[in-house]
A and B are shown apart, each in its own frame.
Chain A
Amino acid sequence: MSTSLKTNSKRYSRELSRYPHYIRKMFEQMQERSQIPAFRSEYHQVEEKERYKSPQQWTVQPGDTVMLTRGKYSGTITKVIALQKETNRVFVENSETKRVVVPKQYWQPGQTSHIIDYPLPQHPYDLKVVGTLVNEDGTEKKIAADKLVFKGEYWDEDYKKMMPYRRVKYNENIIIPWPRPEPKEDCDYSTSQELVEERTFFPNSIVFSDSPSDLLTSMRNPLIKRPYKWNKEYLTKSDVKRLVPPSMPLSESKLAGREERKQIRDSIPTEPSTETIDLVGDKVAAYLNNITNPHLAKYINSKAPGYKDPILEIKAKQKKLYDEKVRENRERNKITSYVEAKYKLKRTKNLHI
């Protein structure tokens, strides 16, 4: 038997998803190299997380009419045939192809040559969805949506799921409907809808149920210590009371000590009294008056509350003088300009006359 824990189980087998991305890339390249060139894909596979799932991500579905915007056939209108989920790409009709050589053992039915043209999948980013607009006079017009937005959703009976409305961006009243998917035929495993929706379970008693009494032990190992996820776990009031230890009452001596410490804490003053302020002030004044160093004395004098800096005073005086001068000059200028204007006016008047 080739099946074993190493190959079959997720836990012990070599899981690619558990390796870091650079080692995973190496394995993928090895796998790629081991294949014959015909089966090597042009675009590498996308990680499971990054694969498109919703129709909003794909933006197109098989059966859509699209316009190619890239490559040799850019500008042509074709149809989407299928989605390639591994590479986030779609197969379209009349796309670019790759020539591959296929060994005879892999020939498809009806194939006559070793060389076939294999279509290259396109990224949905390089496609523009084409919709038809019906004018008022009944004529139809085709439009290619540059950008799409998805707003609102509805239940699609053919897709059997909620589908978003595909609208043209900036013209959101134009809705490009999704193509109808090919109807799926029932296989051997299919169950009819009526049978699936039929209800046969009616819980009507908390004493009996239709399952056997030892069902749970047969489904789950009874020795497992881990709490079962369905078990409802909550503490009642009495449980809390039982589980919380009672606090011991304090002894009398401890209470008395606590009271004494509180009295001491209250008796300590928070602000100094006037006597202490005076005492400290006297001591500091006596020290400052006895300073002999002239620089230090000058510095201390400069910190006195009523002190005025002589340099600043001189500067202030100078500024006052300067300002006075400026004011005088300005007035003088005013008078001169007035007088000049007066005489100029007279002269011009005389000239004109």
Chain B
Amino acid sequence: MVGIAHFSTAATRLARASGYRVASNIKLRKPILPTIDNIKVREDHPLWEFFYKKSFVRSNEDLEIQGRSWTVQDLRKKSFEDLHALWYVCLKEMNRIQREEILYEDISSSKVQQCMNLEDSIKNSMLSIKQVLSEREASLRNAQSEFKIIGDEYLQEFKSTYLESENVETDEWFDKLERLQYAIYGINSTYESVVINEDFLNGIRYISSLYFEKFQDKCDIKLESLKDIVEVYKIFENGSTLEGFKVACEGILEYRNNDLVIPASKEIMVIQNLVDEKINEANQIAEPETTHAN
């Protein structure tokens, strides 16, 4: 008896209670047939990504494609963002065409070959993207390891040309230095996304040594050498011109009155603070209103 109670649904219970199977006030209508027309899919449904132009299979004209796939030579010009975007475009298209290919395969249609051709050209594009990216990574690594071998020689050569040239306070030289410090030490002149590490310190040491050796003789204030990293940083910041170099030398003389000694372990921290100060100053100049409001 327990089992029957379980099987009884609301309708049968109602029928038992009232004596009618269907309530007397309910009007019977035609049944709704389960057809595709009765199903509505919203326009931005994510599964639409698997359909070409929201159709079940694409038409014959759409299968006849012109042109070729992306070659390695084309893609070598493109940035990572472009390649990444193109990869996902290809992937989506691959999904679409493979879905259709399966359908055609089931009915052994001759369109399978056309689908496979399209798929092949997409696949070639994707392979080219992979090739370009791995090539790029490898070339970057090779450049880094190569620089360890020939880097000192190159920097020495650069230094000698810098010191030999008569006028270094030109835009050409400023550009050259900016490019050099970004290319080798990763120092951006605006400190954008800067990371203070050993490379950074080496960079500012090299650049400031350039300035120091160039302007040392012309400057009135005689400094025998740069003693610690703060002095190096001051020269690096202002020393690109003779006037700036003089200002930096005055700053260094002031700094030397303090008799501070910075150990090698704290160099990075000190420079980090100095750079942060510099960035804050720049931000205040750029957005004076917000700082006033605060």
Contact = CB atoms under 8 A, between A and B. Distances in A.
Interface of A: 1-3, 7, 184-190, 196-212, 215-216, 219-220, 228, 230-232
For the complex, would chain B's binding face be called helix, strand, loop or mixed by DSSP majority? helix
Given A2-B102, A206-B140, A219-B130, A187 B183 contact: no
Nearest to A208: B186
A215 B133 contact: yes
A201 B79 contact: yes
A20 B199 CA distance: 61
16 contacts: A184-B66, A185-B66, A187-B62, A187-B64, A188-B65, A200-B81, A201-B76, A205-B184, A206-B143, A207-B185, A209-B80, A211-B80, A216-B137, A232-B138, A232-B142, A232-B145
Nearest to B58: A188
Contacts, number: 94
Contact of B105 (A2, A188, A202, A207): A2
Interface of B: 62, 64-67, 74, 76-82, 93, 101-102, 105-106, 130, 133-145, 147, 179, 182-186, 199
Given A206-B184, A210-B80, A3 B199 contact: no
Most buried by B among A205, A219, A220, A231: A205
Given A219-B130, A230-B138, A231-B138, A205 B186 contact: yes
A156 B82 CA distance: 30
Nearest to A232: B142
A203 B136 CA distance: 9
Contact of B67 (A187, A199, A202): A187
Nearest to A184: B66
A188 to B, nearest CB: 7
Given A206-B143, A206-B184, A215 B67 contact: no
A205 B182 contact: yes
A3 B102 contact: yes
A114 to B, nearest CB: 21
A57 B93 CA distance: 35
Contacts of A206: 140, 143-144, 147, 183-184
B140 to A, nearest CB: 5
A184 B68 CA distance: 12
B147 A201 contact: no
Nearest to A206: B143
Nearest to B67: A190
